[in-house]
Amino acid sequence: MIRYSLTCDHAHAFEGWFSGSADFDSQVERGLIECPVCNSRTVTKTLMAPSVATARKRDAMRTLAMDTAQREVLAKIREAVAAVRANAEDVGEKFPEEARKIHYGEAQERGIIGQASLEDAKALLEEGIEVAPLPLLPDDVN
């Protein structure tokens, strides 16, 4: 969708959303666009600055979109993930192997974290080994 700044022949400014430039042209030709102030159907596009999504704008929009309750829930999830990480040994890519050793009593029972492919995780679950992914939080990817 494209947002255009529009004006009528009486200099009233307003906006419209269109699927593209051809859509705007088609609607003007068919007389479907009219000024919300004076109902004039003589409407043209006006100059407008492009809206470029910068990282700062995206962060501001995400902050605005997140209400207090959502921020509280996200904070609790962060605390839980931090607690898991603080109380577990990171075994990296050896996670599936180490999880099996612990499950079958071949290694000391303890909390572990690490990486596993989707196939490995499914196989562990099919064997009755409880595993769960840690959520990837917004700040974790920045």
75-88 confidence digits (pLDDT tens):
899 999 999 999 99
Mean residue pLDDT across the chain: 86
Residue 75 confidence (pLDDT): 87
Residue 66 confidence (pLDDT): 62
Helix/strand/coil (H/E/C) assignment for every residue in the chain:
CEEEEEEECCCCEEEEEECCHHHHHHHHHCCCCCCCCCCCCCEEECCCCCCCCCHHHHHHHHHHHCCHHHHHHHHHHHHHHHHHHHCCEEEECCHHHHHHHHHCCCCCCCCEEECCCHHHHHHHHHCCCCCCCCCCCHHHHC
Its pTM surpasses 0.85 = no
How would residue 121 be classed by pLDDT, with cut points 50, 70 and 90? very high
- Structural domain boundaries in the chain: 2-45, 67-135
Residue 20 confidence (pLDDT): 85
